[in-house]
Amino acid sequence: MFQHILLPTDGSQLSRDTAQRAVDFAKAANATITALYAKHPGQESESYGSMVEPAVLAQMVSGSEGKANEYLGFIKKLCKDAGVACTALAVVSESPWEAIINAAEDHNCDLIFMSKHGRGGLSSLLLGSETYRVLTHSSIPVLVYRPPEIDASRRKAKAREKERKRA
């Protein structure tokens, strides 16, 4: 059913776990993966212009490229080991959710496979949710991976709350 999966990453452990699941999914579906890392414009040299010394600027740009290479390299290795075709893409964007949707559309992806960080409630409202924004703005289907430990911690919190209400 799905032939081309967009897999965004932020380099976190949750993104790495999600990448493993996405690669397993792609292998089972005989699909290809486009891995995406959206760099913030603050990581690009044009944002700093002449305000930063050239040596420091070169180190900053090198560092952001290093992150992109590390994060995307992890996914490329997973894909290679699993025999899944993969391309990697690093883009600059102030808005990761828009970069995710644009990349999926531009590269003809038919599924976006991403994780949901464990935030919920007030922290999600205050900090926002890139996953939520992708879900509400994308016309491309989105598969949201939620690791078992997040569900387990939520179940425990609900059980504690029920106990408090009973007491």
pLDDT at 65: 77
In the block, residue with structure tokens 């970069």? 99
Higher pLDDT, 156 or 35: 35
In the block, residue with structure tokens 């740009």? 61
Which tens digit of pLDDT belongs to each residue from 14-43?
Answer: 999 999 999 999 999 999 999 999 987 764
Which residues 6+ apart lie within 8 Å of 120 measured at CB? Answer: 154
CATH architecture, domain 4-166 = 3-Layer(aba) Sandwich (3.40)
Higher pLDDT, 74 or 41: 74
Q: What is the 3-state secondary structure (H, E, C) of 101-154?
A: HHHHHHCCCCEEEEECCCCCHHHHHHHCCHHHHHHHHCCCCEEEECCHHHHHHH
Domain locations along the chain: 4-166
Higher pLDDT, 77 or 146: 77
